[in-house]
Amino acid sequence: MKFRSGRAVAQGSEGIRLAMESALTARDRVGVQDFVLLENFTSEAAFIENLRKRFKENLIYTYISSVLVSVNPYKELEIYTKQHMERYRGVNFYEVSPHIYAISDNSYRSMRSERKDQCILISGESGAGKTEASKKILQYYAVTCPTSVRVETVRDRLLQSNPVLEAFGNAKTLRNDNSSRFGKYMDIQFDFRGAPVGGHILNYLLEKSRVVHQNHGERNFHIFYQVIEGGEEDLLRRLGLERNPQSYQYLIKGHCAKVSSINDRNDWRTVHRALSVIDFSDAEIEELLNVVASVLHLGNLQCSSDDDGNATITGENQIRLLSRLLGMPGTVLREALTHKKIIAKGEELISPLNVEQAAYARDALAKAIYGRTFSWLVQKINKSLAHRDSTYSDRNRPNVIGLLDIYGFEVFQHNSFEQFCINYCNEKLQQLFIELTLKSEQEEYEAEGIAWEPVQYFNNKIICDLVEEKHKGIISILDEECLRPGDATDFTFLEKLEETVGKHPHFVTHKLADQKTRKTLAREEFRLLHYAGEVNYNVTGFLDKNNDLLFRNLKEAICESGNGILNQCFQQEELDDKKRPETAATQFKNSLAKLMEILMSKEPSYVRCIKPNDAKQSGRFDEVLIRHQVKYLGLMENLRVRRAGFAYRRKFEIFLQRYKSLCPETWPNWKGRPSDGVATLVRHLGYKPEDHKLGRTKIFIRFPKTLFATEDAFEVLKHTIATKIQAEWRGFHQRQKYQRQRWAAITIQSWWRGGLGRRIAKHRKNAALTIRRFIKGFIYRHKPRCPENEYFLDYVRYSFLMNLKRNLPKNVLDKSWPIAPPALSEASELLRDLNLRNLVQTYCKRITPEWKQQLEQKVVASEVFKDKKDNYPQSVPKLFVSSRIAPNEINAKVLQLIESDKIKYAVAVTKYDRNGYRPRARQLVVTADSAFIVEEAKLKQKIDYTNLNGISVSSLSDGLFVLHVPCEDNKQKGDVVLRSDHVIETLTKLAMEADKVNNININQGSIKFMIRHGKEGIIDFTSGSELIISKAKNGHLSVVAPRLNSR
C-alpha cells in the first residue's frame, strides 16, 4: 500500500479499522458494522450514534443487512486501491468489513452464479456521494473482471462515458460542486465469461431550467465553462466565443463562474479526450460544440419593444453568429424568436410577441435545444457502448448489472415541480424497496420453513397512488389543467387538487389545514406527507414546467437547421403529429414506470448515501443534517423491515464454523449434519426457543444481544484456542517439514539404491555371461580356436601371462615357473629361456672382476675336488682370499728376488722333510710362472711350472699335498711334501696359475713320491678321530685325518 504523508491519518486508521472490524467485540469503539445488530433498532439516536462512531474512525460504510449505508468522507481514503479490490473479490459478504466493493462483488457473483440480472440502486441527497459510488463500482468491475482486447475498448468506453455525461449533465450547486442534474440508470452487460461487453444508459429528467437560470452560488452545466476556459483559440473563434464567462448572460446568474475546486481547463482536456474514446468524430464534436455555443449566444440576445409593444431583436451580431452555428438564415431565426404561430380551425395565425414573451421563447429554445442535445448525447454514447456480438440470441443474451444513480429526496425552503418529481421518484423507489425486501424476506422464510410473521411497517403505496393514480392522482390533475381550454393557472390547479384529493390523509393545503398546520403552509403551497417526511410544494410554475412548451414556429425553424445534431433532435414528424405531446410529468411518470419494470426484473442491492455536513468538510458530523437524511432515506424503515423478524441469520455451516469451539460436543469438529451441530451448540449455549429458529439451511436469531453474548464468549475462548491451534499448527508444520525431508531422503535413497542395484545386477549379468562363456570355452578348449572358446583361450593366456608377469623368477637360482597352458607351452619355454638369459645377463653385468675371479677359482675347485676330497664341502662357503700373507709379512729380500708385483698368492705352509718328515714352517709364494718355498729371507726352492709334473692330495680331510717335480735336475731337490690349512684354496690357485688343473691327483690310502732319484717315499692316509701326522714305524709318513663328511 502506498504511503503518502498527507493521508497518514486516514491510512493509520485503516490499519485500526481492519484490526477492529475483524472482531465484533470492537463494537463499543467502532459501533456495529451491521445496523441489524443494534439492540435498540427503533431508536434513531442509537442509529445515528453508531454512524457517528464509525465515521470518526473513517469507517464510512455500514450495512443494514444487505443495504450499504455510505457516509461521504469528503476526503480521499486509502480504501479504493487495487489491493482492496482484490480483498473483496470472491469473498463472502459478511467476512470482510462493509465496503462498496463488497456490494459490487456480491452482485457480480450472484449474476454469475445464478445468471440473474442485478441492479444496484444508489440514492441519497445531492452531494452524498452517489455518483462517486457508481464510479467506484464501475472501476471495481473494470479492474476485477476478466478482460480481452475487445472487452478493453468497451471497458474504456464505459469509464470514459462518465466525464462526458458529467460535463453536460453536472453542475456546481450549493450542495455539490459536481452535482448530477439528471437521473441515470446504466446497464453493464457481461458475457458468459463475466467480462463487461457492453452498456446502455437511460437518462431521467435533466434539470433544463439551469441552462437559462442559476441560483446564487450555483453554475450552469460544466461544459459551457470548460469550452470557454479550455477551448483552443481557433475553436473559440469558430464558435464566436470570448474566453470570458462573464460575457455570457446564461453563465453569470449565480455569480460564481469561477470555482477554486474546479479546473475547467483540465476538465475540458479530459472531456475532449473522452469524446474521441467513445467514438465521436471531429465533425460530431464540432456540431456538438456549435449547439453549446448557440445556447450561450441565445442567452445574449437582447429584445427591445417597438412602438406597438412588439419585441424586436437588437443584437445583430448574435443573430449572425447563431445563423452560422445553427445553419439557418438569420431572418428565419429572428422571425421565429419574435412571433408565435397558432393553428386555429386549420388556419395558421401568426402574432407578434411582446418583449417578455420573446425572452420566454428564447429561453424555451435554449432549454429545448440543450435538453434534446443531452438526450442525443446519451443515445450516441449508447451506440458506442452497444454490445454487438451476434452470438447472443435473445434467449442467450448477456447478463446485466444495472447502476441507478438518481437524486434522493430533496427538500428546500421552496420546493417546486422538480422536487415534486424527484420526491415522487423516491417514493417509487421506496415502494420497490419495500416490495422487494419484504418479498425476499418472505421467500427466505418460506425457503427455510419458518412461519411468516407479519411485519409492521409503513407502506408508502398510498402516497405513490396519490401522485400517479389515473384520473385521480396529482399528475393526472395537473395534466388536465394544462390541457384544459380556458385560462388555467397554477392556482386553479391547486383548487382542483383540493377538490379531488383534498381528503387524502397524505395531502394538505393551507385551506384544508387546521389552525396549527396552517401557519406552516403558504397559500400557494400544498403539502405531501411523504414516507420520509412532509414537504411543501409551491404550485407556482407547475403548469408551465409541465407543459414544457416550445412555440411551434420555433420548432419549425429548428427543424430546418443545418446542424446535424439538431436535425436529429427536431424532426418534421413531430410537427405533423397532431396529438399533443406528453406533459413533462406524464413523461416522467411513464419513464419511471419503465424503470420500475426494469428494476423489478432484477435482483436489487442498495447503497444509501449520506452527506455528513453541508460545508463539504471532512471529519464534520452534522447530527441535525444526518438525522434529516436518515429520515428521508427511510433508513429507519429499512431497518424496521429487516429487523421485523430476526436480527441475524447465517448458514448453519458458517455459524457452526465460527462458534463450534464453545461446545465440547461440536469442538473441534462436528461429524454429523451442520443443522444438528447448530442445534447441539445452541442448546449448550442456552438459547431460548423464542429467541431463535432453525430453518432448513440457516439459523435465525431474533435479538442481537443473544448473538453478542455468544460472540463475547467466543472472544474470551479464542485466545486459549489460538494458543492451542498455534501449537497444533507448529507441530503440524514441523511434522510436515519432517515428512517432506524424510520423503526427500527416501527418494534420494531409493534412487541411489536403484542405481546401485542396477549396477550390481549389471555386474552379475556380466559375471554370469563371463562364467558361461568360460565354461563353454572350457568345454571347447581343445578345439581349434572358434567363437565358443576364444574367450576362454584368451583368458587362459591372459591370466597365464599376467600370472607370469607377477611371478617371474627373480634370480638365477629361482627355478620356479608357472605351468603353461598347452597353447602356450612353446612360448612359455621361450619366455623361460629368455628370462633366464635376461637374469643371467643382469647377474653377470653385476659381477665384479674380483668376484669373477673368485667364482672361476671356485668352479675350478669344484671341478677338481667335489666329491673327491673330504674337506672340500667345508671350503665351499669360505671365500678364497687373494693372499694369505700380506706383502709386508714376506721378507724384503725375498720380495727383491721375486718382484712383488708378480706375486699372485702367498700362504703359510708346513714343509715335511724328505728325510725324517720333520715339519718346517715355510711360506709358499705363487707367481705367474713359478712357485717359491720361502724360509724367512731365504728362497729355499723355486719350482718352475714347466717342471711341475703334478700335484697329489689325499681324499681325506687333511691339508697335505705333494708337488711332483723331476729329480733329474739337481737344482731340484725332489718332490715337496707340504701342508696348508687352506689346502683347497692353495691348490686351486696354484694349479690355475701353473695351468696344472688337470694334473691334480686325488689318492685313496697313500701317495707315493720321489725323495731323490730312485728313492721313493710313501704317505699313508687313514681316517681317525683327529689329525695326527707322524713318521710311522715302517718309515712311511702316517696321516690320520678326521672324517668330516660321512659318505
161 lines the binding site for Mg ion (CB under 5 A): no
Q: According to CB under 6 A, which one of 11, 62, 65, 131 is a site residue for ligand ADP?
A: 131
Q: How far is the CB of 579 from ligand ADP (least distance, A)?
A: 36
The smaller minimum CB distance to ligand ADP, of residues 180 and 583, is found at 180
Is 516 buried (19+), middle (13-18) or exposed (0-12) by CB count in 10 A?
Answer: exposed
Give the span between the Cα atoms of 338 and 656, in whole angstroms: 78
**Segment contacting Mg ion (CB under 5 A): 91-99, 172-180, 254-262, 770-778?**
172-180
**Segment contacting ligand ADP (CB under 6 A): 74-82, 336-344, 822-830, 1012-1020?**
74-82
- Would you give the binding string for Mg ion spanning residues 935-974, x where CB under 5 A is met? ----------------------------------------
536 lines the binding site for ligand ADP (CB under 6 A): no
124 lines the binding site for ligand ADP (CB under 6 A): yes
132 lines the binding site for ligand ADP (CB under 6 A): yes
131 lines the binding site for Mg ion (CB under 5 A): yes
From Mg ion, ligand ADP, none, which one binds at residue 385 (CB under 5 to 8 Å depending on kind)?
none
Is 289 buried (19+), middle (13-18) or exposed (0-12) by CB count in 10 A?
Answer: buried
From ligand ADP, Mg ion, none, which one binds at residue 473 (CB under 5 to 8 Å depending on kind)?
none
- The three grid cell numbers given for residue 867, joined into one nine-digit string: 666329491
Q: What contacts 24+ positions apart, CB below 8 Å, involve 697-701?
A: 697/447, 697/448, 697/651, 697/652, 698/448, 698/649, 698/650, 698/651, 698/652, 699/649, 699/650, 699/652, 699/655, 700/448, 700/450, 700/645, 700/646, 700/648, 700/649, 701/646, 701/647, 701/648, 701/649
The residue from 230, 408, 634, 645 that is catalytic is: 408
468 Cβ contact list (under 8 Å, min separation 6):
424, 474, 475, 589
DSSP, collapsed to helix, strand or coil, labels residue 1 as: coil
- The three grid cell numbers given for residue 1022, joined into one nine-digit string: 687313514
Beta bridge partners of 931: 926, 943
The smaller minimum CB distance to Mg ion, of residues 180 and 431, is found at 180
**Segment contacting ligand ADP (CB under 6 A): 127-135, 483-491, 632-640, 886-894?**
127-135
- The three grid cell numbers given for residue 19, joined into one nine-digit string: 484490526
From Mg ion, ligand ADP, none, which one binds at residue 252 (CB under 5 to 8 Å depending on kind)?
none
**Segment contacting Mg ion (CB under 5 A): 122-130, 143-151, 495-503, 747-755?**
122-130
129 lines the binding site for ligand ADP (CB under 6 A): yes
Give the span between the Cα atoms of 181 and 175, in whole angstroms: 12
From Mg ion, ligand ADP, none, which one binds at residue 128 (CB under 5 to 8 Å depending on kind)?
ligand ADP
Assess whether 176 carries a catalytic annotation.
yes
Angstrom CA distances, 102 to 67, 140, 1014, stand at: 11, 10, 160
Assess whether 980 carries a catalytic annotation.
no
Q: According to CB under 5 A, which one of 118, 180, 338, 563 is a site residue for Mg ion?
A: 180
The smaller minimum CB distance to ligand ADP, of residues 78 and 490, is found at 78
Give the distance from CA 527 to its chain's centroid: 63
- Provide the greatest CA pair distance for the chain: 217
Query: What b/e string do you get for 562-589 counting C-beta neighbours within 10 Å, with b at 16 or more?
Result: ebbbbbebbeeeeeeeeeeeebbbbbbb
Give one DSSP letter per residue of 677-716, joined into a string.
Answer: HHHHHHHHHT--GGGEEE-SSEEEES-HHHHHHHHHHHHH
Q: How far is the CB of 132 from ligand ADP (least distance, A)?
A: 3
Give the span between the Cα atoms of 842 and 864, in whole angstroms: 28
72 lines the binding site for ligand ADP (CB under 6 A): yes
Assess whether 323 carries a catalytic annotation.
no
123 lines the binding site for Mg ion (CB under 5 A): no
The residue from 125, 166, 410, 427 that is catalytic is: 410
Is 1021 buried (19+), middle (13-18) or exposed (0-12) by CB count in 10 A?
Answer: buried
C-alpha angle with apex 659: 657 to 664, nearest 5 degrees?
105
Assess whether 173 carries a catalytic annotation.
no
Give one DSSP letter per residue of 100-127, joined into a string.
Answer: HHHHHHHHHHHHHHH---EEEEEEESTT
Angstrom CA distances, 877 to 515, 870, 882, 985, 1042, stand at: 168, 15, 16, 12, 20
The residue from 161, 176, 220, 789 that is catalytic is: 176
Q: How far is the CB of 258 from Mg ion (least distance, A)?
A: 22
270 lines the binding site for ligand ADP (CB under 6 A): no
Q: Is the dihedral of CA 78, 81, 84, 90 positive or negative?
A: positive
Q: How far is the CB of 186 from Mg ion (least distance, A)?
A: 13
The residue from 97, 179, 203, 220 that is catalytic is: 179
From Mg ion, ligand ADP, none, which one binds at residue 93 (CB under 5 to 8 Å depending on kind)?
none
The smaller minimum CB distance to ligand ADP, of residues 106 and 139, is found at 139
Q: How far is the CB of 53 from ligand ADP (least distance, A)?
A: 18
From ligand ADP, Mg ion, none, which one binds at residue 674 (CB under 5 to 8 Å depending on kind)?
none
Site residue total, Mg ion (CB under 5 A): 3
613 lines the binding site for Mg ion (CB under 5 A): no
- Going by C-alpha positions, the residue among 83, 86, 60, 57 that lies closest to residue 2 is 83
Beta bridge partners of 953: 961, 1002
58 lines the binding site for ligand ADP (CB under 6 A): no
Omega cis (within 30) before 98: no
From ligand ADP, Mg ion, none, which one binds at residue 583 (CB under 5 to 8 Å depending on kind)?
none
What is the strand order of the sheet 1000-1003 is part of?
938-944, 930-935, 919-927, 903-912, 976-980, 960-964, 950-954, 1000-1003
- Amino acid residing at 345: K
The bridge status of strand 950-954 relative to strand 1000-1003 is parallel
The residue from 131, 382, 540, 661 that is catalytic is: 131
Assess whether 408 carries a catalytic annotation.
yes
Give the span between the Cα atoms of 1047 and 1043, in whole angstroms: 10
373 lines the binding site for Mg ion (CB under 5 A): no
Give the span between the Cα atoms of 252 and 214, in whole angstroms: 8
**Segment contacting Mg ion (CB under 5 A): 128-136, 201-209, 685-693, 962-970?**
128-136
**Segment contacting Mg ion (CB under 5 A): 124-132, 139-147, 516-524, 853-861?**
124-132
The smaller minimum CB distance to Mg ion, of residues 221 and 493, is found at 221
Give the span between the Cα atoms of 673 and 693, in whole angstroms: 17
65 lines the binding site for ligand ADP (CB under 6 A): no
**Segment contacting ligand ADP (CB under 6 A): 129-137, 139-147, 923-931, 1033-1041?**
129-137
Angle between helices 282-299 and 355-385 (to 10 degrees): 160
Which residue bears the cell 468489513?
Answer: 97
C-alpha angle with apex 124: 120 to 127, nearest 5 degrees?
120
The smaller minimum CB distance to Mg ion, of residues 209 and 517, is found at 209
The smaller minimum CB distance to ligand ADP, of residues 178 and 697, is found at 178
**Segment contacting ligand ADP (CB under 6 A): 173-181, 215-223, 273-281, 963-971?**
173-181
DSSP, collapsed to helix, strand or coil, labels residue 935 as: strand
Assess whether 697 carries a catalytic annotation.
no
Positions 593 through 632 that interact with ligand ADP (CB under 6 A): 609
Residue nearest to ligand ADP (CB): 129
DSSP, collapsed to helix, strand or coil, labels residue 64 as: strand
- Would you give the binding string for ligand ADP spanning residues 556-595, x where CB under 6 A is met? ----------------------------------------
- Distance in angstroms between the alpha carbons of the first and the last residue of the chain: 121
Assess whether 974 carries a catalytic annotation.
no
**Segment contacting ligand ADP (CB under 6 A): 176-184, 290-298, 300-308, 688-696?**
176-184
Give the span between the Cα atoms of 164 and 223, in whole angstroms: 9
Assess whether 126 carries a catalytic annotation.
yes
The residue from 124, 127, 371, 974 that is catalytic is: 127
From ligand ADP, Mg ion, none, which one binds at residue 1001 (CB under 5 to 8 Å depending on kind)?
none
74 lines the binding site for ligand ADP (CB under 6 A): yes
Residues lying near Mg ion in the complex (CB under 5 A) are found at 130-131, 180
Residues lying near ligand ADP in the complex (CB under 6 A) are found at 72-74, 76-77, 124, 126-132, 176, 178-180, 609
| Catalytic center residues | 126-127, 131, 176, 179-180, 408, 410
